[in-house]
Amino acid sequence: MLRILALISLFWTVALVPAMAQETVDDARAATGGAQTLEDILRRQEGLKIDDSFRSDLTGDPNAAAVPSDQLGTLGGASDPDLWRGLRYNAADVSTQQRGPAATTLIQDGGMWWLSFRRGALLSFGAYLLGGTLLALGLFYLVRGRIRIDGEKTGRSITRFKAFERFGHWLLATSFLILGATGLITLFGRKFLIPVFGPESFSTIAVGSKWVHNNVSWAFIVALVIIFVVWVVHNIPDRTDLRWLAKAGGLFGGEHPPAKKFNAGQKLIFWSVIILGGSIAASGLSLLFPFEFNLFGHTFSTLNSWGVPGWFGADDLPYPLQPQEEMQYAQLWHAIVSFVLLAIIFAHIYLGSVGMEGAFDAMGKGEVEEQWAREHHSIWAEETLGAKQSKEGGA
């Protein structure tokens, strides 16, 4: 008897409770006159998805309109709110004289997510990453100090970089730093510079930054091509890199692992600059010519077809994207990758200047102390000095 009662109660729980829950939702919806419920509001505040079909489906149906002769009858099938909902959910038939790709998207919901991310999480991420990198470099300097040339200096120097290599490097460096500074002004200006300079002065700064950012970008792209062509041969990974990495480049021990023209650390910097810099340039071009290059829609579609979001337990990435969404994703990608590359370049600047004795000469004068070369790039130094001696001997 008890078993029968238990079965009945189980059936009650499994079969009837969900139905009651549905009725509760429907009741709540009915209680708000078909508008959003308290549960919808709470879910949205938690950043969860809500089923907004109660709103998105309500875009005006002439057949569903009450007949004018009825009580509370209407003069048409669509009200102003229906029209706005139709615009919001892309259900309205919009025609414009403007023939741009985004001309018919008059309301774009996704823009709110982008806006709040752009002025919230993105700024925090960038500030923590760049600030954390500078702090870590400062601490490293305090702990490790300047990396000195260990052996006796010879007083002789060898050519490390030719004039054209240094030209390409400095063109890339100056353009990247200008782009970084103007990019940070654009991104952080509203929050940090307007309170200091006021809206009028900041407007001038922002317009100037934008002009400089848009146009210096071409010099960055040219320099990126130059350094790729000039240095790619020397940056192909090989076995010496594994040994160099295993000893962390001799950073913490006294021993200097052998290295060719570029050690593994420099190769990592090189490929970071090429790959991340190339990605920044691509997303920058997408932003410079709005709606012409759509980078994200196809990428998202491909990733979805491979099931990549599912690997991380996430829903499919949004596809298709509205034209404005393409621009929003391009802007976020441009900023995030730039932050990462800036952090890497901070470390590069540190090691190439105050962090290591003799390192700046390589790019400053193009000549380095022979002992420095033997310690940090022993294989390259032997080859270069050997070639120099045999040339002198031959002469």
Name the residues that contact other proteins, by CB under 8 A: 97-98, 100, 102-103, 163-164, 166-171, 173-175, 178, 210-212, 214-216, 218-219, 222-223, 288-292, 364-366
Q: Of the two residues 58 and 92, which places its CB atom closer to other proteins in the complex? A: 92
Question: Least distance from C-beta 352 to other proteins, angstroms?
Answer: 13
Tokens of 68: 């004018």
Question: Cβ of residue 246: shortest distance to other proteins, in angstroms?
Answer: 35
Distances (CA, A) of 75 to 34, 65, 71, 79: 21, 8, 12, 9
Judged by beta carbon, residue 3 or residue 99, the one nearer other proteins is 99
Q: Choose between 129 and 282: whose C-beta lies nearer to other proteins.
A: 282
End-to-end Cα, the chain, rounded Å: 111
Cβ distance to other proteins smaller for residue 37 or 217: 217
State the nearest-atom distance from the C-beta of 177 to other proteins, in Å.
11
β-bridge mates for residue 356, sequence order: 147
Structure tokens at 261: 């023209």
SS3 labels along 235-260: HCCCHHHHHHHHCHHHCCCCCCCCCC
Closest CA to 295 of 316, 321, 275, 272: 321
Distance in angstroms (rounded) separating the CA atoms of residues 259 and 361? 18
- The contacts found for 116-125 with CB under 8 angstroms, 24 or more apart, are 117/332, 118/331, 118/332, 118/335, 119/190, 119/191, 122/187, 122/332, 122/335, 122/336, 123/187, 123/188, 123/191, 125/336, 125/339
To the nearest whole angstrom, how small is the minimum distance from the Cβ of residue 103 to other proteins?
8
- Considering the complex, state which of residue 90 and residue 174 has its C-beta at the smaller distance from other proteins: 174
Min separation Cβ 168 and other proteins, Å: 8
Pairing of strands 157-159, 367-369: antiparallel
Which residue lies nearer to other proteins by CB, 250 or 284? 284
Nearer to other proteins, 65 or 177 (CB): 177
Q: How far is the CB of 209 from other proteins (least distance, A)?
A: 13
d(CA 308, CA 294): 20
- Please state, in angstroms and rounded to a whole number, the distance separating the CA atoms of residues 73 and 75: 7
Residue 126 or 284 having the CB closest to other proteins: 284
CB of 211 to other proteins, least distance (A): 8
Query: Rounded to the nearest whole angstrom, what is the least distance from the CB of residue 228 to other proteins in the complex?
Result: 16
